[in-house]
């Protein structure tokens, strides 16, 4: 039997590496420097960011795929997955903060108490922001106060998420 992979299997593998390399193009310069150790690959990705021509960009992506064959893709995959999970967590925290802001704005002290119970502790800055929201008389002041309540809730939820992540 022939133990060598088929031409189709090799092509699938190369296309997967190219797709992985294309995901690097969307990263910031700092993230790219943290993830990619190979200088040629990093330079190719930086070059791809500046290309505007479709054909040239397609060829550069193919070149990035070719360079990906020479590096171990697993650390890059893991780092991209970690970045992706961080973004998902941030979106989740943002949605939770919006939901709590709406609940606290519409409800009374019971909703604020429920938030503090969920959080596990009280926060004076949030209490002041909620008091300012309830004292707002015009739309502009109410909008600013609502934004401040959201910022405080978001900050508290982010702190909770980071403390949970560091305890793992």
At residue 152's C-alpha, the angle toward residues 146 and 154, to 5°, is 100
Could you tell me the pTM of the whole model? 0.55
Residue 116 and residue 64 share a domain: no
For residue 57, give its domain range. 7-71
Cα separation of 143 and 112, whole Å?
18
Q: By the 8 A CB rule, do 93 and 85 touch? A: no
Q: Pick from 36, 39, 32, 34: which is nearest to 73 by CA?
A: 36
Residue 144 and residue 108 share a domain: yes
Question: Domain count of the chain?
Answer: 2
Residue 107 and residue 64 share a domain: no
Cα separation of 143 and 59, whole Å?
49
- Encode the chain (168 residues) as per-residue pLDDT tens digits: 568 889 999 999 999 999 999 999 988 888 899 898 899 999 999 999 999 999 999 999 999 999 999 999 999 998 888 887 777 788 888 999 999 999 988 887 888 888 888 888 888 989 999 999 999 889 999 999 999 999 999 998 888 877 766 555
Residue 23 and residue 97 share a domain: no
- Helical ranges in 26-123 per DSSP H: 29-35, 39-50, 54-68, 73-106, 109-119
Cα separation of 31 and 49, whole Å?
14
The verdict on residue 144 lying in a domain is yes
CA dihedral 34, 40, 42, 46 (to 10 degrees): 160
């Amino acid at each position: 039997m022939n133990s060598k992979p088929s031409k189709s299997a090799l092509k699938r593998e190369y296309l997967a590496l190219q797709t992985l390399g294309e995901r690097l193009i969307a990263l910031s310069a700092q993230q790219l420097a943290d993830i990619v150790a190979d200088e040629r690959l990093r330079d190719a990705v930086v070059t791809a960011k500046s290309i505007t021509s479709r054909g040239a960009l397609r060829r550069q992506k193919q070149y990035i795929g070719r360079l990906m064959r020479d590096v171990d893709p697993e650390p890059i995959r893991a780092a991209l997955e970690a970045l992706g999970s961080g973004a998902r967590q941030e979106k989740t925290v943002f949605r939770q903060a919006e939901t709590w802001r709406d609940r606290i704005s519409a409800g009374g002290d019971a909703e604020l108490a429920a938030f503090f119970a969920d959080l596990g502790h009280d926060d004076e800055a949030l209490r002041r922001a909620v008091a300012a929201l309830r004292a707002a008389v015009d739309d502009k002041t109410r909008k600013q106060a609502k934004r401040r309540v959201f910022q405080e809730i978001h900050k508290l939820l982010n702190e909770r998420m980071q403390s949970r992540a560091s305890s793992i």
